[in-house]
């Protein structure tokens, strides 16, 4: 508790000196490790103190519910949480509901979230009193009051930073306590074998008489993940503004929650097995009673266990306190005040009032816990009623996050259907476990049908951090066939995908080939102790790998037609050598230490070379094909795998899991991030300038050739000499430009070291200085006036200046104007300068940009135009210059329907 207060005091200085975003979401810059700990700390609370009681009663059946939670972790981390990175101006669930459905939805969702938080906090505080009373016989009311006041103080004091960093401490205590209790319990009952000898009803799942009851509970609490989407956990999803980091957060959390679940299930079954020896005559408050039985005579040990249990409870309570206070201030008080004509609060007052709100609701929760003599708070029946209300918020919210176009009519029909269905099912005498899921299903179906009716189809929004595009899909035979055709032709896009991956994560294929050939492929054959037949088989497997590696070494002489497929060849070689052939070699050998070392080493090397998604695909497919193919050909796996090497195989599996987890959670070093960022900006400017130079060279060659074409028909000596000289020069320029285009493919992967030198040379020429937006627009319009056919209108009620790279900023506007004219087929182009918002917008009424293209338009080397005349650097150049100037560029477009348009917005509001 003292440590918590100290961390709260440290975070207080940082939070009060910052903004409301810092207090509410820690400025969205917490490291992945801290986010994992705070997510688990919020999720793992008093409910997990009850898990051993459920395992005591239902046995391994309790693990079924935990597995379901793990699946939900993975699903949320894969589909839902990553989409929240596009809402970087939202702080709460109410903010999202306001964006999707308006201010009334914000107020309604906030009130329900606060109601659920009151139930959860009060029940957790009551559990603190029970644990204190069981272990140390402290008066429950005294424990509730003391611990409650301390939690309220540091939760309000330090904001999100205090909450997250104390969660790290508290989760460490959680693991310590569960490990200590589980280890001591297994030792006392005579080993884990005694747990496996428990009565069959404790070890069975499908044949367990309580299976269908447990399945109902799982459906009620897990299939619709209400607790995973409560206000504090939503806050943790909003903290992270990087998709890869979000997925890492949820996947790693799922792994650690699995470990906690194993502990709680073993504790519950072990307590049942040793109930007589341990004197456990009751299943109420099992974990504290078990701790008292195991460590009651050891004062220091029981004290640590007590502190750990309190930490488990506090990690949930402080998160809900903070989330509830922020929601009260941000979603209720401030909007209501603005509705009645009051000005929005300044940051200092908003922070102060938020802290006061946390203290107020904290005192209310403590009072509720102290005077709850009827057990209202600890009865799940009343909590489930609050969940019923919360479900009607989450269904529309999930639709909005997943990208459906939202409207208030769909929300209202969803709520009405939900209320009517619950009333009907309740009147028919159905229990809440029975009518909850059908009601949710009907409400969801009604929302979807209403959405289709209003939009005349399925309307979705394709988002990126810079763009938002609307897409309407109307079910039809032609549309379905087009979608099927898109799926069937997906392999045709693999070369482009592989090319992007190999450019963004450059590797040295030559070095890899040498290592594979001399240290891995050939060496693994020489150390194998096997029959001649096995050696021949292994030589064939490795020989194919050596041939593939030789192909990598000969990259420089690949023909022009094969060069685009080199990235795919590179990844196929990695798959074959490290994943597929490595697994076959492991199966072929006699599973000795050297074989296992080579097998595991191959996976570790693969993890170093490729990104996490590629690693997962290559490893999964390689293992499946190797083991599955071996089983089909030979009728089963080698027996040696299952005999004598169980421990080694277990170690291998653990190593592979650790490598996978590290792949999802690893981060680049700060030095490399800065270096690659500078290289990215420099590469964009250099590529853009080189593109113009290449085009100029080719154009000059054509001009010279046409200008002197009649020289061939001249009969005089001077005319013929002039023609041949000009023809030679023109061919030289054209060949030079073509050579530069051909070599650009490989130059992208080798240019990093050159860019380190060129960084100062390129950007140093363009110093940042204040520039008039109106002047920049006029200059850009004048530069491109001969290249576009439409006259550009400049609308500027009031000009403003912004610091930018003055030497090249007009080129940014010029690029966007040429893009609107050439690719957008615009009839009218307008530059709109808004001094209040500090934005410059290029608006055109062209055909718009398709929703599937829009998220990628700013990617380097992305182009929808076939051929080599487009290198995909124009819009990437625009983005890089804006980022180097401290601004940002975004695009909004409507495509393919009446009223199509495209807006490119250059935003300097943060400068």
Count of CB atoms situated within 10 Å of the CB of 606:
22
The SS3 call for residue 542 is helix
Distance (Å, rounded) from C-alpha 516 to C-alpha 525?
A: 12
Return all residues near 904 (Cβ < 8 A) that are at least 6 apart: 816, 819, 820, 841, 842, 878, 889, 890, 891
pLDDT reported for residue 282:
64
* The two three-digit tokens of residue 729, written as one number: 């020069």
Displacement of CA 762 from its chain's centroid (Å): 34
Tell me which of 210-224, 636-650, 662-676 is least confident.
Answer: 662-676
| pLDDT over 90 percentage in the chain | 11
Distance (Å, rounded) from C-alpha 124 to C-alpha 424?
A: 34
pLDDT reported for residue 409:
93
Span 490-518, average pLDDT: 67
- Across-strand partners of 843? 830, 903
Span 131-156, average pLDDT: 89
Tell me which of 491-505, 618-632, 756-770, 891-905 is least confident.
Answer: 756-770
- Across-strand partners of 462? 469
Per the CB < 8 A criterion, the answer to whether 163 and 317 are in contact is no
Span 16-35, average pLDDT: 80
Return all residues near 291 (Cβ < 8 A) that are at least 6 apart: 135, 181, 302, 305, 306, 309
Span 164-187, average pLDDT: 88
* The two three-digit tokens of residue 83, written as one number: 């989409």
Asked whether the predicted pLDDT for residue 537 surpasses 70, the reply is yes
What are the pLDDT digits (tens) for 288-309?
A: 888 888 888 777 888 888 988 9
* The two three-digit tokens of residue 146, written as one number: 């003391």
Distance (Å, rounded) from C-alpha 671 to C-alpha 344?
A: 41
Span 75-102, average pLDDT: 89
Distance (Å, rounded) from C-alpha 243 to C-alpha 255?
A: 19
Span 734-753, average pLDDT: 49
With bands split at pLDDT 50, 70 and 90, how would you rate the model's confidence at 832? very high
pLDDT reported for residue 725:
52
- For residue 80, CA distances in Å to 31, 74, 116, 388 come to 20, 10, 21, 21
For residue 346, with 0-12 CB atoms within 10 Å meaning exposed, 13-18 middle and 19 or more buried, which class applies?
exposed
With bands split at pLDDT 50, 70 and 90, how would you rate the model's confidence at 748? very low
What are the pLDDT digits (tens) for 539-556?
A: 778 788 888 888 888 877
Span 232-256, average pLDDT: 86
Distance (Å, rounded) from C-alpha 677 to C-alpha 117?
A: 42
Asked whether the predicted pLDDT for residue 366 surpasses 80, the reply is yes
User: What does pTM read for this prediction?
Assistant: 0.63
The SS3 call for residue 804 is strand
Return all residues near 787 (Cβ < 8 A) that are at least 6 apart: 818, 821
Question: What is the average pLDDT value for the chain, to the nearest integer?
Answer: 77
pLDDT reported for residue 489:
57
What are the pLDDT digits (tens) for 593-635?
A: 666 767 777 777 787 777 767 777 888 888 888 888 887 777 6
Return all residues near 36 (Cβ < 8 A) that are at least 6 apart: 248, 249, 252, 253, 256, 665
Per the CB < 8 A criterion, the answer to whether 164 and 32 are in contact is no
Asked whether the predicted pLDDT for residue 711 surpasses 70, the reply is no
Residue 795 DSSP one-character state:
E
Distance (Å, rounded) from C-alpha 265 to C-alpha 634?
A: 39
Show the 3-state SS of 822-890.
Answer: HCCCCCCEEEEEECCCCEEEEEECCCCCCCCCHHHCCCCCCCCCCCCCCCCCHHHHHHHHHHHCCCEEE
| Nearest alpha-carbon partner for 38 in 152, 165, 155 | 165
Asked whether the predicted pLDDT for residue 222 surpasses 70, the reply is no
Span 634-661, average pLDDT: 57
pLDDT reported for residue 853:
84
pLDDT reported for residue 873:
64
pLDDT reported for residue 535:
67
Distance (Å, rounded) from C-alpha 598 to C-alpha 485?
A: 42
**Hunting for tokens 């402290």 — which residue is that?**
138
* 282 or 531, greater pLDDT: 282
pLDDT reported for residue 581:
85
* 426 or 451, greater pLDDT: 451
Span 276-280, average pLDDT: 84
* 98 or 725, greater pLDDT: 98
pLDDT reported for residue 199:
84
The SS3 call for residue 420 is helix
Distance (Å, rounded) from C-alpha 846 to C-alpha 576?
A: 48
Asked whether the predicted pLDDT for residue 901 surpasses 60, the reply is yes
Asked whether the predicted pLDDT for residue 101 surpasses 80, the reply is yes
Q: DSSP string spanning 226-259? A: TGGGSHHHHHHHHH---HHHHHHHHHHHHHHHHH
What are the pLDDT digits (tens) for 3-22?
A: 777 877 777 665 555 678 88
Distance (Å, rounded) from C-alpha 24 to C-alpha 323?
A: 8
Count of CB atoms situated within 10 Å of the CB of 259:
11
Asked whether the predicted pLDDT for residue 287 surpasses 70, the reply is yes
Per the CB < 8 A criterion, the answer to whether 464 and 854 are in contact is yes
pLDDT reported for residue 788:
77
- Across-strand partners of 793? 830
Tell me which of 213-227, 241-255, 637-651, 782-796 is least confident.
Answer: 637-651
pLDDT reported for residue 663:
52
With bands split at pLDDT 50, 70 and 90, how would you rate the model's confidence at 878? confident
With bands split at pLDDT 50, 70 and 90, how would you rate the model's confidence at 420? very high
Range picked from 369-373, 559-563, 577-581, 589-593 for highest mean pLDDT: 577-581
Asked whether the predicted pLDDT for residue 760 surpasses 50, the reply is no
């Amino acid at each position: 508790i003292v440590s918590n207060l100290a961390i709260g005091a440290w975070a207080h200085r940082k939070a009060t000196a910052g903004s409301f975003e810092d207090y509410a979401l820690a400025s969205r810059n917490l490291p992945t490790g801290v986010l994992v700990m705070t997510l688990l700390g919020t999720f793992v609370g008093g409910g997990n103190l009850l898990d051993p009681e459920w395992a005591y009663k239902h046995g391994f059946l309790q693990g079924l519910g935990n597995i379901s939670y793990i699946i939900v972790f993975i699903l949320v981390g894969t589909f839902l949480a990553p989409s929240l990175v596009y809402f970087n101006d939202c702080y709460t669930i109410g903010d999202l509901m306001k964006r999707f459905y308006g201010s009334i939805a914000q107020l309604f969702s906030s009130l329900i979230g606060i109601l659920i938080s009151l139930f959860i906090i009060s029940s957790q505080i009551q559990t603190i009193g029970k644990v204190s009373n069981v272990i140390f016989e402290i008066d429950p009311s005294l424990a509730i009051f003391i611990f409650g006041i301390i939690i309220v103080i540091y939760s309000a004091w330090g904001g999100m930073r205090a909450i997250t960093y104390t969660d790290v401490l508290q989760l460490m205590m959680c693991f310590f306590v569960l490990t200590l209790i589980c280890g001591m319990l297994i030792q006392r009952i005579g080993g884990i074998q005694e747990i496996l000898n428990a009565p069959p009803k404790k070890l069975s799942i499908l044949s367990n008489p309580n299976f269908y009851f447990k399945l109902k509970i799982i459906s009620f609490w897990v299939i619709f993940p209400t607790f995973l989407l409560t206000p504090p956990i939503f806050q943790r999803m909003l903290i992270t503004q990087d998709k890869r980091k979000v997925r890492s957060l949820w996947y790693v959390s799922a792994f650690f929650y699995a470990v906690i679940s194993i502990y709680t299930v073993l504790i519950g079954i072990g307590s049942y097995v040793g109930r007589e020896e341990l004197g456990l005559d009751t299943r109420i408050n099992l974990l504290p009673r078990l701790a008292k039985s195991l460590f009651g005579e050891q004062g220091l040990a029981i004290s640590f266990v007590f502190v750990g249990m309190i930490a488990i409870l506090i990690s949930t309570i402080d998160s809900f306190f903070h989330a509830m206070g922020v929601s009260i201030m941000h979603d209720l008080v401030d909007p209501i005040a603005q509705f009645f004509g009051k000005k929005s609060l300044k940051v200092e007052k908003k922070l102060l009032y938020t802290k006061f709100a946390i203290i107020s609701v904290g005192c209310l929760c403590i009072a509720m816990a102290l005077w709850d003599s009827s057990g209202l708070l600890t009865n799940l029946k009343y909590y489930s009623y609050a969940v019923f209300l919360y479900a009607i918020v989450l269904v529309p919210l999930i639709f909005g996050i997943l990208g459906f176009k939202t409207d208030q009519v769909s929300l209202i029909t969803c709520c009405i259907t939900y209320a009517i269905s619950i009333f009907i099912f309740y009147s028919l005498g159905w229990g809440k476990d029975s009518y909850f899921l059908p009601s949710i299903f009907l409400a969801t179906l009604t929302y979807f049908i209403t959405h289709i009716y209003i939009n005349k189809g399925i309307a979705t929004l394709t988002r990126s951090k810079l763009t938002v595009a609307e897409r309407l899909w109307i079910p039809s035979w032609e549309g379905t066939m087009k979608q099927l055709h898109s799926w069937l032709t997906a392999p045709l896009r693999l070369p482009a995908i592989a090319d992007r991956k190999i450019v963004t994560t450059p590797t040295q294929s030559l070095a890899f080939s040498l290592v594979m050939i001399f240290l891995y492929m050939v060496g693994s054959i020489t150390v194998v102790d096997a029959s001649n037949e096995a050696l021949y088989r292994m030589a064939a497997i490795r020989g194919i790998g050596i041939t593939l590696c030789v192909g990598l070494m000969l990259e420089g002489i690949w023909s022009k037609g094969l060069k685009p497929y080199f990235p795919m060849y590179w990844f196929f070689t990695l798959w074959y050598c490290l994943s597929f052939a490595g697994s076959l070699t492991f199966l072929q050998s006699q599973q000795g230490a050297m074989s296992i070392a080579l097998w595991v080493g191959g996976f570790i090397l693969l993890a170093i070379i490729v990104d996490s998604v590629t690693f997962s695909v290559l490893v999964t497919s390689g293992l499946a094909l190797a083991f599955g193919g071996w089983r089909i050909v030979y009728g089963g796996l080698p027996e040696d795998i299952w005999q004598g090497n169980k421990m080694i195989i277990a170690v291998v599996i653990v190593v592979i899991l650790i490598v996978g987890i590290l792949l999802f959670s690893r981060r680049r070093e700060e030095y490399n991030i800065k270096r690659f960022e500078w290289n990215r900006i420099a590469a964009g400017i250099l590529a853009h300038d080189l593109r113009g130079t290449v085009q100029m060279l080719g154009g000059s060659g054509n001009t010279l050739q046409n200008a002197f074409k009649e020289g061939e028909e001249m009969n005089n000596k001077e005319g013929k000499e002039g023609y041949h000289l000009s023809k030679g020069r023109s061919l030289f320029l054209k060949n030079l430009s073509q050579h530069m285009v051909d070599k650009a493919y490989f130059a992208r992967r080798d240019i990093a070291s050159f860019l380190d030198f060129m960084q100062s040379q390129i950007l140093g020429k363009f110093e940042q200085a204040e520039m008039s937006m109106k002047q920049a627009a006029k200059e850009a319009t004048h530069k491109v006036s001969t290249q576009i056919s439409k006259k550009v209108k400049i609308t500027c009620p009031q000009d403003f200046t912004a610091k930018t790279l003055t030497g090249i900023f007009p080129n940014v506007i010029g690029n966007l104007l040429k893009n609107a004219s050439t690719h957008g087929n615009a009839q009218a182009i307008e530059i709109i300068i808004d001094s209040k918002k500090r934005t410059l917008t290029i608006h055109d009424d062209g055909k718009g940009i398709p929703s599937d293209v829009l998220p990628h338009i700013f990617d380097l080397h992305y182009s929808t135009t076939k051929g080599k005349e487009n290198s995909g650097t124009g819009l990437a150049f625009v983005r890089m210059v804006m980022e180097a100037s401290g601004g940002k560029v975004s695009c909004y477009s409507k495509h393919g329907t009446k009223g199509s348009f495209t807006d490119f917005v250059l935003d300097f509001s943060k400068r």
